[in-house]
Chain A
């Protein structure tokens, strides 16, 4: 039995210690916004925050995140009004959308430590894959979100 703090709520889950956080989120708890893409930390579709850091949950054993603050796309903002989500809507960033929760979570972690990232910061820090090639729109939306957050 592990006690997990996810999106401000406490969950008790009965899983093996090595179970990846991804599957605990998706199957045990039902938070399916976090996506499975590769299972090998290659694509970033499964990105969540653990204590504010972007983490690829498909290779993150659940036993190691006990007592830490976990945030998923569902918990990024109560009403989908995170500056990134606003910017993402403004720019119609997603194509098929499957990689986008991971992209947004990676971007949110970046903005939290670097409120005004350069293009170079973005391409260095966000290595999530997008099959549909939304990279330029993602970059633009991150700049826009930085602006929105500064104004707020």
Chain B
């Protein structure tokens, strides 16, 4: 009973005429064929299928030219809301000089990537890498293709390359005015080898990048045609509902499948588990509803292992205790901070605590897999398709060349879809079946089996001199992970190089282990580290009796050891000016400021971001974030300012939801929260105004923009709360705090 789109549409034209009332609106709008053509699919609605036809010519693995000049770009990144198909295409087309209105984009093949010796270089979508890591080789691919197309035209006309120009995919022989289109010379170009690779443009030469470009991704997203992983449908496909051990690292003791085997549509009950696969049981049926309802009735007994009584409260106690324990790893040691602290005119001390957080995207986790003796197919939205392929190979023993990862559009990733646990589980389930199976996680399962942003406890002690400026700084962080990482970047980034002028410093950390899985969460460490760092700076400013903006400014200005100090000041000033910092505000309203950059240990690029939150708190303690003014360093260019702005907005929303109400807590070894009622997203009614102020503060390209603003949401909001109420927030979420300052 599967209908093609064509049938649907024809059918619609006939049948809607009989439908009245509320549907008049849909019918009264005139059909506009020009616009429809402009919106024709430029991205395949089944993203794993190629748009490229037989008569089109691949110039290099990144791009294909059709006889009618249509250019198809291969995108080696996953799309989950960043508009990466548009940005990726722009980076190539900046050099290609083709007609942008004829550009289409599709996923690069993961299978081919492996068969052809990593031809797409890097397919992971994480670490703000899409532009930072890929831009130059994408520009190079575009430039190289352009030069080969030009060389082909020169050959056709037997003229020198230097007599040719190109614009919008039309090559002109300047002396004679003759013209050739890309589509006419593509085949010839494919055979041409360049004597040397052309130079690529520098940012000041960009004509396509740095300008807002409407998103290629949009049309598919307004008519239901885009296929997310959860929408995959295959002939003969079964559906599975899975339940993993509620206590992490537990095991299946036994289950009684006779209770559900005869229920409608049920095909099988299978077990899964093993290294990096949380053990559990799945019911396989002819529809998800049948599978899910049967799973709900399946009696399962679990072996909870040793963690069945663990609680997040207990983890917190452990971390607090670790603050006093010896043997911490020292990251920064400068001068004699203990002595300076003793001699200081004033001492300020604070301990900050943060909960586990889930990623809470809209598309529940899912993966579809088909496993046969000599071939594996996986349909999934993943941020790491290469690892998905390797995992599938390991689990099935099928050679890599015969494994196909069909990447899908993703209904939000935020770091969670780096993990591929959904892939491993689905492959293991599919191995036990002779048909493709789509495994869909319920919302509850998605929430309760995350790879959470880790809990943290951090202590700061600072000594201030007689002028109120810090002379000593002692900071210890306790990182809590399931598997303490060899590289503790998440725990230390941002804190490892405090930008403010402080002569005596000590920064060290302990790592502690619990059984709760942890992973990266957009901003990778910054949403925690910046909360306490920039809150504590605010505490120091207030202790010194100084304006928090001016206090930071003075400490940056005075820091000759920090190479980015000047750029920071520019961004800080922009945020302060644009937000109206210092202006008189109504009673109960206040502002908080925070600044930082996206520095990662071992990466030279940064993105500086400063946020001013304008907040109001009623006497009863009702909080409203009125506005965020976000000053964002662009460096010399942004690939697509339109997408960049939206990425910043998304981070404000994500950060604010976490600040207000989100926390994952552990009771009896398992996650308490389950769905949007106890893990709430930000609602439309709570949406602040968000003003993004782009500012060119540095000459070097920035590190990225998709996760470089989130860190400053929490401190700016909490600093504003202090400005209004005098209450210092040292733990989140705010729902656990009473912000009231009196009756009324």
Contact = CB atoms under 8 A, between A and B. Distances in A.
A12 B579 CA distance: 59
- Give the interface SS of chain A, mostly helix, strand, loop or mixed: loop
Contact of A86 (B35, B289, B443): B35
A141 to B, nearest CB: 10
Question: Which of B22, B28, B681 has the largest number of chain A CB atoms within 10 A?
Answer: B22
Interface in B577-631: none
B14 A8 contact: yes
A67 interface: no
Nearest to A137: B646
A92 B239 contact: no
B536 interface: no
Interface in A5-54: 7-9, 11, 15-16, 19-20, 23, 26-40, 42-43, 45, 49, 51-52
Contact of B233 (A32, A42, A94): A32
Interface stretch (B1-9, B47-55, B96-104, B115-123): B1-9
A126 interface: yes
Contacts of A81: 29, 31-32, 35-36
A101 B676 CA distance: 19
A132 B412 contact: yes
Question: Which of B224, B440, B690 has the largest number of chain A CB atoms within 10 A?
Answer: B224
B650 interface: yes
A77 interface: yes
Interface residues of B, number: 81
Nearest to A49: B22
Contacts of B221: 88, 94, 97, 100
Contact of B222 (A20, A31, A88): A88
A28 B16 contact: no
Contacts of B30: 152
Contacts of B219: 80, 89
Question: Which of B12, B16, B675 has the largest number of chain A CB atoms within 10 A?
Answer: B12
A59 interface: no
B409 interface: yes
A79 B646 CA distance: 27
A139 B685 CA distance: 11
Given A49-B22, A133-B649, A32 B675 contact: no
Contacts of B15: 7-9
A29 to B, nearest CB: 6
A131 B361 contact: yes
Nearest to B677: A42
Contacts of A65: none
A113 B22 contact: yes
Given A8-B19, A96-B362, A74 B80 contact: no
Contacts of B2: 30
B231 A75 contact: no
Contact of A43 (B31, B228, B231, B362): B362
Contacts of A77: 26, 29, 223
A123 B22 CA distance: 21
Contacts of A15: 287, 289
Contacts of B19: 8, 69
B684 A52 contact: no
Contact of A28 (B287, B642, B681, B684): B287
A77 B16 CA distance: 9
A120 to B, nearest CB: 10
Contacts of A133: 649-650, 652-654, 682, 687
Contacts of A51: 22
B12 A71 contact: no
A18 to B, nearest CB: 9
A2 interface: no
Interface string B347-361: 000000000000011
A148 B222 CA distance: 16
B683 interface: yes
Contact of B443 (A40, A82, A95, A101): A40
Contact of A33 (B225, B650, B676, B682): B225
A96 B411 contact: yes
A132 B289 contact: no
Contacts of A31: 224
B191 interface: no
A131 B410 contact: no
A86 B227 CA distance: 20
B22 A36 contact: no
B479 to A, nearest CB: 27
Interface stretch (B63-71, B125-133, B146-154, B210-218): B210-218
Contacts of A74: 8, 223-225
B21 interface: yes
Given A74-B8, A74-B223, A35 B363 contact: yes
Given A8-B15, A78-B13, A30 B1 contact: yes
Question: Which of A37, A71, A84 has the largest number of chain B CB atoms within 10 A?
Answer: A37
Interface in B422-441: 440
Contacts of B239: 27
Given A23-B289, A78-B9, A37 B443 contact: yes
Given A73-B223, A127-B684, A132-B81, A78 B16 contact: yes
A45 to B, nearest CB: 6
A129 B683 contact: yes
B455 interface: no
A30 B3 contact: yes
A66 interface: no
B9 to A, nearest CB: 5
B540 interface: no
Nearest to B237: A27
B29 A32 contact: no
Interface in B139-195: none
B364 interface: yes
B558 to A, nearest CB: 37
Nearest to B11: A9
A40 B676 CA distance: 9
B440 A123 contact: no
Given A88-B222, A97-B221, A133-B682, A35 B362 contact: yes
Contact of B218 (A27, A71, A88): A88
B412 A8 contact: no
A7 B362 contact: no
Contact of A82 (B14, B29, B81, B440): B29
Interface in A105-119: 108-109, 111-113, 115
A46 B145 CA distance: 44
B521 to A, nearest CB: 13
B226 interface: yes
Given A27-B287, A94-B218, 4 more contacts: A32-B233, A78-B13, A98-B411, A152-B29
The 10 closest A-B pairs by CB, nearest first: A33-B224, A8-B15, A133-B653, A98-B411, A52-B22, A96-B81, A97-B221, A73-B224, A32-B231, A112-B22
23 contacts: A7-B11, A8-B14, A8-B15, A30-B2, A33-B225, A35-B230, A35-B362, A37-B676, A40-B675, A52-B21, A52-B22, A73-B223, A82-B29, A85-B223, A92-B642, A92-B646, A95-B81, A96-B411, A97-B226, A130-B681, A131-B681, A133-B654, A136-B689
